[in-house]
Structure 1
Amino acid sequence: MSTQDGVPFRLGWKAVSLGKGFALSGSGHQEGKGNMDAKEAIALIEERFDLLETQSHYQVLGVERDASVADIRAAYRTLAKKFHADRFRAYMLNDGQQKKLEAVFNRLGKANSILTNEPRRAEYDNEIGASGVARERKVTADEMERIFGAEDALRRGKGMLQRGDIKGALAKFRVAFEVSADIPDVAAHYAFARFLDGEGSDSADGKKAFKELEVLVRENKDDVSANLFYAKALKLKKQTDEAKKYFNRVLAKEPNHPEAKREVRLAASRSGDSDKVPLYQINVMEKLRSFFKKKE
């Protein structure tokens, strides 16, 4: 949970369950009915963002207080798909609209992270009491600016990580983590960057970061980032069979994830399981092996 001057705050909105879809409380919008035009998409984001006030995590995900972990995860997956940035990419959102969409998406992740973790859920239930309503104040402009700053740092850090700038990525992820430590995607990026930074020297923090990735995967089995970075860390530790298991978890959530697909195919080719690898890829690999043998 983020804090400002020692006072906890939480973002949220009210959602009402409607079977496979959902509607915003007091709203004319309803999900799952055809494609939106740009005006409708922006209105949906604005309306969702305006409702980020003092609703409970249960209301955020549209589930009952006694909902099972499976039901909570299912609700999260449905809503995360609806408010994923890729779904709104074609609408050419401006910076302000993009930040509001990110705030909505991150709020979903926070609710899922807490309600699918038994100790944290029990603590949260005690906090909100029998009423089921979070007794918290609205988020101030300064607090929202901190959240937007953290989201920008996360985005920049991802770019640096892709370019191999581990130190730069680590600094950006640390900024995001200080504000949004309970969002699995943020925690996974931060832990993996620390693992990479300490992996060469086998530092104490590198070992600690690896353990944190283990815990993240155990507590957030459906989170793509947690599974992906744990798999990559396992691969770097030469635990390729175990790494393949977690790359496959990523593919179970995102079948077209390019990095996970590549790693699973490479693992299959190394193990001789060629029926799972496209023929053209096997031929390319064989040519590369022959080329490097000649060089030796």
Structure 2
Amino acid sequence: MLRPQGFREGALSVEEVSKLIDDRMQAAIDGDYYGVLGVEKDAESSAIQASYIAMAKTIHPDMMGKEGLEDYKDKAGELFKFATEAQEVLTHNKKRKSYDSGDLVAKGVHGGEATGSEERNRKNKAKIQYQKGSVLLNRKGWADAEAHLREAVELNEEEPRYWRKLGWAIFNNSEADKTKRQDEACRCWIQALELNEEDPEAHYYMALYHKSKSDLKKMKNALVRTVKLKPRHVEAQRELRLLKMREEKLKAADTPINRFFKAFANLGKKKKK
């Protein structure tokens, strides 16, 4: 069985533990049960349980006594509480189906931020709309997903992932004018990158936008940036391979003899005129 993501054999260093807590806390803030446990959405219950146990051995609040981790105790406690909730839901068939369908929405955590109740409620509402939109995106319900994600962005304009997924919903929503939706999607992804320049998915979506505009140079640059940020980005790697094949094909066709025949053909066309 594969090791849960983020964990390995042997004790982790202080730096590794703190980074793991920070990374998983972002998933907890988003109300992402799968992300907080570091498992795929099709993971079996045994893998989910194994990841939870690995977390318990590494980031349980009682483990934060190590020098350099004292300040992480409260955050680890909040994170582990959410991870426990995630484990309970994802190992329960009925609850997991409700969560996957969007009927059960995780409230998430606040990451230790001292926010007022009004702002917290607003962000929670945005998070719920984002989660519903994400579920609909997975089902390719583009129009409905767009509606939920627009509301999420209106409630919280500071979250780059909301902008990124809104752009993807707009880009694929065939009910709208093609050119207009492509350009609006592009604006969403630009906004997402302004908020988080190191978001590989936003760069990948920009590559697809440039592809739709036949701007292969910008497309390639965006794909290279995507792979640099996320080396195992399968879709970006595939697009880069296709681009390379196209470039090689064009290069192979650009031979002296081919240029001669092309010039000869063009000359014939001019004579006919």
- TM-score by structure 1 length? 0.46
Between Structure 1 and Structure 2, which shows a larger proportion of helix residues? 2
TM-score (normalised: structure 2)? 0.49
Higher RCO structure (Cα 8 Å, ≥6 apart): 1
